[in-house]
Amino acid sequence: MSADTTAARRPRLYRPSFFASPKVFRTEVLAGLVVALALIPEAISFSIIAGVDPSVGLFASFTMAVVISIVGGRKAMISAATGAMALVIAPLNHEYGLGYLIGAVILGGIFQIVLGALGVARLMRFVPRSVMVGFVNALAILIFLAQVPELRNVPFAVYPLVVAGLAMMILFPRITKVVPAPLVSIVVLTVITIAAAIAVPTVGDKGELPSALPVPGLPDMPLTGEGLAIIAPYAFAFALVGLMESLMTAKLVDDITDTHSNKTRESIGQGVANVITGFFGGMGGCAMIGQTMINVKTAGARTRLSTFLSGVFLMLMCIAFGPVVSQIPMAALVAVMILVAFATFDWHSVAPATLRRMPISETVVMTVTVVVVVVTHNLAIGVIVGVITAMVAFARRVAHLANVSGVVDPEGKQVVYSVTGELFFASSNDLVYQFNYREDPDDVVIDLSSAHIWDASSVAALDAVETKYAARGKKVTIIGLNKNSAAIREKLGGQLVGH
């Protein structure tokens, strides 16, 4: 056997995509560093919302990012401690303590694994584009609004620093894109504030950074039926909110990168990450849209390496370079997030030309989604309300597509009604009233060749029509049923009209 044949049969080792070229590797590493810097103040802020020590949020961001980079289904997406998840479990912590919160995180992760295995990700197909656009726009608004408190009652120097940071991030890419502009902005502004001794709020003002790695352990709560009953409702809400935000964010990244992600793997991966995070004393989390946009859109990352390194760099900076990181001015990170908010918003969706062409129902759905998210500060509630609004709008549109037209034969002995359209609960409600029961001849034919029966409401409506004609001694013959329509009518016909 020749050496060439032996080489051809030798199995090829898996080579991660981030090793494809030095440029890709550099991009992923720098993106992870920028995201880690942006994660620190966010994690501390969310810890305050949940009422826990800042280290609990930072540990969660570290473990979530590292674990999801391995088990997740969407490359380059960032998962960490989030505000939405903190709001869900905050009441539990305030009433019962940290042990119950950690227990809810672990149980919520188990729920996510189960829901993921059951195929909850497939429900994403029912989220219309108008809801997705509303989700993105609301997210951009929330990211911007989250920066407003950092601009209130602060030294005047904060404002020129924010403007300078924005200017650097806009202009620096015109010079070179080798180094991410947000990283340059953060470093330059930090050097300026330290060198000039400018007194402005810093990352250190948000809370004390941890000085050691987290260690695994069990939650400090009674593992009894009573204890599980207390945390179960919070855990289930935690699971649903986390999955919804993560899957919506994954879909957004799919569109931005023009690639496909494994939503089922992502759902299960979120659960695995939360279970591990809980055992390491973290407050849990889900996908973070702001940091994901920094990673994917601003820094240009496309692989799992950037997600993994964002968690590693986060802990490294907290433990090894805590004093330096604490000196980063909040103004630098505010500038980054403002630019992210601007880039995230879908400006095309609100352009006058787009609004003129868009059906009014689509605009209403998008607006409702945005308003609900901004008012409640909960992306999951906004998406649910948006989907329900879209379903109602769709049902109203389709309901008017079912038409009935009748033709009496020349001898006046038979009338043939042609029904066209989709028959379901909304369209079939008016079906009963579109026949002339009193004046029609004794032989009535209803032709459903151009219609389709979808549900029991439609079968009940046809039964009601037959009953009304029968009460007047008239015979009804239904023809033209397709296979599926005939099956549902055969199964339910005559069983739904009360006597």
Give tens-digit pLDDT for 42-96: 888 788 778 788 889 999 999 999 999 999 999 999 999 987 788 788 889 989 9
Structure tokens at 265: 């793997």
Task: Supply 76's token pair.
Answer: 């380059």
User: pTM for this structure?
Assistant: 0.74
Would the CA dihedral through 368, 374, 377, 379 be positive or negative? Answer: positive
Strands 286-287, 403-408: parallel, antiparallel or unpaired by DSSP?
unpaired
What pLDDT score was predicted for residue 312?
Answer: 95
Confidence at residue 91, expressed as pLDDT on a 0 to 100 scale: 86
How far is Cα 75 from Cα 253, in angstroms, rounded to an integer?
9
pLDDT score recorded for residue 2: 53
- Give residue 8's pLDDT: 52
Residue-level pLDDT at 22: 85
Give the pLDDT confidence of 400-453 residue by residue, as tens digits: 667 889 999 888 889 999 999 888 888 787 788 889 999 899 999 999 999 999
Q: What is the pLDDT of residue 15?
A: 62
Most distant pair of Cα atoms in the chain: their distance: 102
Tell me, what's the pLDDT at 499? 44
Per-residue model confidence (pLDDT) at position 18 = 65
Q: Are 131 and 387 in contact, with CB atoms under 8 Å apart?
A: yes
Contact residues for 66 (Cβ-Cβ < 8 A; gap 6+)? 308, 311, 312
* H/E element, 477: strand 475-479
452 in helix, strand or coil?
strand
Q: Within the chain, which residues score under 70 in pLDDT?
A: 1-20, 399-401, 495-499
How high is the pLDDT of residue 333? 84
Given this model, what pLDDT does residue 326 score?
Answer: 86
Residues 259 and 183: their CA atoms lie apart, in Å, by 26
Q: What are phi and psi of 339, to 5 degrees?
A: -65, -35
Handedness of CA 488, 492, 496, 499 (dihedral sign): positive
Neighbours of 268 (CB within 10 A): 23
pLDDT value, residue 38:
84
